[in-house]
Structure 1
């Protein structure tokens, strides 16, 4: 056999087990072949046959027990008896074939410190009294038992945010850390005053019918056939702003003769940041189409420049960055009455036995005039220079005139 100048090794196959062979090696250059090196080496004898009926005996969460029938040296030269067994256990997903190795003298072995719910390949080979180990048996696939999932869900993220919904997705940890096949997920979404719970078999979920502009916390746990594992750390997200509900509790908090002050409660929940309030008001004696508008930043408003006893209707609307919400219910309020000013344009018409007084309504009635009061007293008599009267009289009238009869 000849080889190139850079080939410094060779594997000679097709030899017989337990045979002695002589090898010679020489180098050749341009002048010819050099001296020969001779070496004698013996091939190894065949090891024992592989054990038969290799089987899984028992399993639990962290260990596997295997057993097999005795191996034999039948038909093998250089193999007198079996003294032990070599085994290896390799995680089925390990493409590098790394695993646990060991030697036992019996036909059974328990291998500990394994991962839960994980597939393993088991191999076993027999060793002869001469110290030779035969080929491994065919692989036996076995799986450790499950426990409650302790899977760590990685990269739980918010994928979509709306005014009334939130969407989340997640990825699982690697298979060897799941402690079993995941059959579903349990989740919790906690808001201000409530908790939404549910289950899904997908790796994402959208939760609807939420309240706008509320901070929610979301967490999820994996479930396998043995039960539910721990929840992840919560991830926090806030729904988007929406138009606000109508303000509540609208009422007149203060009135005087020239102003009415109203107050109300902020919408709860507000569905966002209230940036302003819109107020509409109109006199109840007129239609709402005549309503005037105003704006205010806080939950109070004063309408001034009124006349006493004026009655106004009010309603309020809140606004966020998403727009205006609904109007509140309408309330009415009346400016307080004040004392009327003097009746004007007093006119007097005397007769022999009476005096008629007439006048016009006060310029500032400051309310509804219910009646007029007239006080009168005789001061003197034309035929009696010494007349002194201490009597005074009062009469009330709801009209703009009054007749006084001195003889009455």
Structure 2
């Protein structure tokens, strides 16, 4: 098969040839060359005898002869063979640059696209006539040759091609030589002999790269192992004995070669031990990693240990210890073991001096494999709404270890959750949701891990009655005799579809009545009494039965005035106060805002008067009169108006000790005082006596009188008296204290003398003529009937009595 590139080139050649023939028949010459014999130019010039020749890069073809595939290939090959020789530039020790030019073809019949031409580059380093090796094939015009050998002569050939069928002739060869450079890295030195204090090394010559080796540099780490090297030899010899070394010590060596162009890189590092003693008994091998069918065993290297020998014993085979590793590594992986099986291991170390004792025997065990899944769980017994029991069989393959526990997972549609872990092979699922589809799966565990889960078992719990509906809601305002109710589906349908609803009404007298039963979620309830509280409940039904009643909705029908309260309760707390309480009546749909408490005192008036108004249901009346009859009644008020008054409740206050005496009068003399008072209120019990307290002396008890004469008083002395009344109940309060002062005693009668006598008058004199005490004198004269009549009163010491009758 020809490539697409070859076919495109042939199509262009064939098209130009046909166009050429048309132009010749019409007598038209497309180029500017001198006219001559008619020729068909197709990728070259064809002579008159039908022979194709290449003359100075031009292709000649027959003028009108047929052009077959072989002729086309010949024309293209001739053009590809006209490629210039490659140019070699930028030659270095290991690299050079090759520049290529496209074929130099002048034939107008050959239409070659330079971008379609590829180049094949061949290289030989064995001579001009040696075998060449293809090092490049592509469309690049500049090729960089890398990894060349320094100081080597190379021969280069190149050719152009369009495909595997259309190739030009090889151009060349072109010769070039790479430059000289430093030597190649030498091979690591080899051990010849060793003692406890010396090591003899030798090495092979390395590639000089065009310049003779002038010296070899041997370096050693001095046995420290810290990565620092020191030169121990430099010279042209290819062997050396390193002395003054320590016995049983590991030394690391490296080698470099030097010529006139520099120093080569160092060889790979190599280590050797000086001679010493046989290794001591190694530590027991250690378990690094544990697998089901393999164990990774490791150990520790000591300074004089070169290689290790690890043996293993499988007691079940009876073959004893078998070597499983022999080498210098510090760990090995032992494969193809049996799962959950114990193996015994021992280790010995070796060096050139011999082999150590075997280490202590240690035992390591492979891990068990994960068990296979248990059988698919099965339902055991009857499925209940809230529980069911499942059972399962153990796995057929336990993985080489006993099953330690089973893991049971349950999926209720929201993903699997672990509900049980234990060794039992059955489990009771409880607290489930009725009417729900559950998927159950089981896995088991052993020391190797957890198995995959078994196939799932499907179980559907039985439905139960629906859950509780929300309390019904009132639609709009309640009317006087009807209202509109609405309810919703319960939050939980019990695992089955709700089929219908039921609603009931609880009247104020606790009687119930079904008001609706059907598929709808609302109804209108009629036949209500105004201002009455009602309770409404709803419930849902499914195929399992009726659900519970919802929480009640309390609704009060259209409001009215409250019912009349019951008769108030009156409790006498004392003779002067009573506590009146009453019960809240039925408000008939409107909250009671206040109460009116009225009272009546029969002794004063027959009409009731307002005593209290407010929201409280109790009131304490104070300041009452003891042993007095009172009557109380109460009235409730709401937004619709006042209720009727309650029945009246009479009350008589209990008797009490007398009231205190308010009015006290005292008539004072020099040695006595008459005390009078007004009888106080007896407060329902007759006064039995009085007590009079004079100054701080003990009180004087009197009969129930209203006056008392205090005698044997001291003249011109101030006294304080208090009076209290007593009855069968007790002693009343003392009156306010009353103060009074007794009068002085009268003076002695003065001596009366007659100073002047006249026929109708007489002048009298008394006293000593001085009145320092401001006394008042009274002069009396005897009348005919023997009584005396005052004729003068005053402070004077003399008086003339006139209008007397002569004897």
Question: What TM-score, normalized by structure 2, do the two folds share?
Answer: 0.24
Question: What TM-score, normalized by structure 1, do the two folds share?
Answer: 0.44
Greater C-alpha radius of gyration? 2
